[in-house]
Amino acid sequence: MKLEGVELRRVALPLVTPFRTSLGTQTVRNALLVRVATDEGEGWGECVAEDEPTYCPEYLEGAADVIRRFLVPALFPVDLDPAAVTPALHHLRGHPMAKAAVEMAVLDAWLRARGVSLAAYLGAVRRSLPVGVSVGITDTLDDLLDTVDRHLAAGYARVKLKIEPGWDVEPVARVRETFGADVMLTVDANTAYQPGDAAHLTRLDAYGLAMIEQPFAPDDLHAHARLAAMMSTPICLDESITSARDAVTAIRQGACSIINIKPGRVGGYLEARRIHDVARAHGLPVWCGGMLETGLGRAANLALAALPGFTLPGDISATARYYERDITAPFTLADGELAVPAGPGIGIAPEPSSLEALTTATEWIPAP
Ligand code: NPQ
Ligand code: MG
């Protein structure tokens, strides 16, 4: 398959409610879409980098720049298939989210041309999945309880609370007290704690959490391993894991017993599957993280999360949890589950009128 040109498209999707984490508050999702045009048809990818480099070092305009100036030019001469993308970009350091977006678009085009779904290609074993919801930090505890109540009524299988110093034990205690022992409850700190906070964090053991996600800095595996030895609550790593090799290192050090897999963070769906494979070989459960994706990224994440090792509900919520209007048809919960797209490629494409209405800029990168 030969690349003939690439369109970079910025879209702006207002969030239904502001999303506050220990990293900051988001009110609109500015997303970067990558459409590859090839001699076998087109494909769509999505770059999950945020406006600002807070979750990780990448940011949206930086990702657009590296895609335009380095990634796309490196792919024009290549005889493309999905597995050819990473090797062709290997000499370019870092930028996993930019690389993942390009790989996703190539996967979509290549699989679409062959009539194969991404789910089937990756090795999916389920047609629909129970999913979870990520709940931001709220102004008051009452707001939090109302929000959790709404999500549980909608049928979500797991609730994740964002935490930070000053918003941890009390919200967790109130949610547990209010909704009972049967709710699968987790917390995510997005690196907001210091190693010296470990003793404080052990207080969360009293509330039967399914995990605590990424309390410490991405590069501090030792602090996570130490906390794991102090707590009965399982430790899950997100920001720390950027490759299958990282996953092996973290597992060997005892720094985590669960891994959050985000294809963007690890450089693509194929590396995401490798992390799934090594975690499974070590007996660790994994789940699919979320980056406030549009329907394109959501569709591809559902395909990944249908693999057998994804035994915990992911941050793949229904469209309505995030957006009033998306660029694709909405994903809706049925009996607490989302359907895994079964059509060729990622199984969904933008709806032209919504895409048009939400687009803020487009740019065409022609073949040389
Ligand atoms: C996480 N996501 O698991 C992330 C972090 C995160 C759904 O909890 C804009 C776009 C803002 C993506 C803030 C969820 C974001 C973002 C936080 C992702 O750590
Ligand atoms: Mg996280």
Nearest to 234 by CA among 209, 252, 262, 199: 209
Considering the chain, what percentage of its residues have pLDDT values greater than 90? 100
How many Å apart are CA 81 and CA 1, to the nearest integer?
A: 7
Q: Which residue's CA is minimally distant from atom 18 of ligand 1?
A: 291
Nearest to 347 by CA among 359, 355, 339: 339
Active site residues: 162, 262
Six token digits for residue 268: 């693509």
Nearest to 260 by CA among 104, 367, 132: 132
Ligand closest to Cα of 97 equals 1
| Confidence (pLDDT) at 279 | 98
Helix, strand, coil content of the chain in percent (nearest 5)? 40, 25, 40
Q: Is the CB of 26 under 6 A from ligand 1?
A: yes
Q: Is the CB of 292 under 6 A from ligand 1?
A: yes
Say if residues 280 and 309 touch (Cβ distance below 8 Å).
yes
Sign of the Cα torsion 321, 326, 332, 338 reads: negative
* Interval between CA 261 and ligand 2 midpoint (Å): 9
| Confidence (pLDDT) at 217 | 98
Per-residue burial over 5-27, b if 16 or more Cβ lie within 10 Å, else e, is ebbbbbbebebeeebbbbeeebe
Q: How far is CA 50 from the centre of its chain?
A: 12
Q: Is the CB of 315 under 6 A from ligand 1?
A: yes
| Confidence (pLDDT) at 161 | 98
Q: What are phi and psi of 265, to 5 degrees?
A: -65, -30
Nearest to 16 by CA among 7, 1, 29: 29
Q: Which residue's CA is minimally distant from atom 13 of ligand 1?
A: 21
Nearest to 223 by CA among 245, 197, 204: 197
| Confidence (pLDDT) at 113 | 98
Say if residues 205 and 179 touch (Cβ distance below 8 Å).
no
| Confidence (pLDDT) at 299 | 98
Q: Which residue's CA is minimally distant from atom 14 of ligand 1?
A: 290
Over residues 202-224, the pLDDT tens digits come to 999 999 999 999 999 999 999 99
| Confidence (pLDDT) at 301 | 98
Q: How far is CA 286 from the centre of its chain?
A: 12
Q: Which residue's CA is minimally distant from atom 5 of ligand 1?
A: 291
What's the length of the chain? Answer: 368
Q: What are phi and psi of 128, to 5 degrees?
A: -150, 160
* Interval between CA 43 and ligand 2 midpoint (Å): 28
Average model confidence (pLDDT) across the chain: 98
Does the pTM of the predicted model rise above 0.85?
yes
In a mutational test of the pocket of ligand 1, which residue from 292, 317, 319, 322 has the highest number of ligand atoms less than 8 Å from its CB? 292
* Interval between CA 143 and ligand 2 midpoint (Å): 22
Ligand closest to Cα of 237 equals 2
| Confidence (pLDDT) at 345 | 98
Q: Is the CB of 267 under 6 A from ligand 1?
A: no
In a mutational test of the pocket of ligand 1, which residue from 16, 20, 21, 52 has the highest number of ligand atoms less than 8 Å from its CB? 21
Which residues in the chain show pLDDT less than 50?
Answer: none
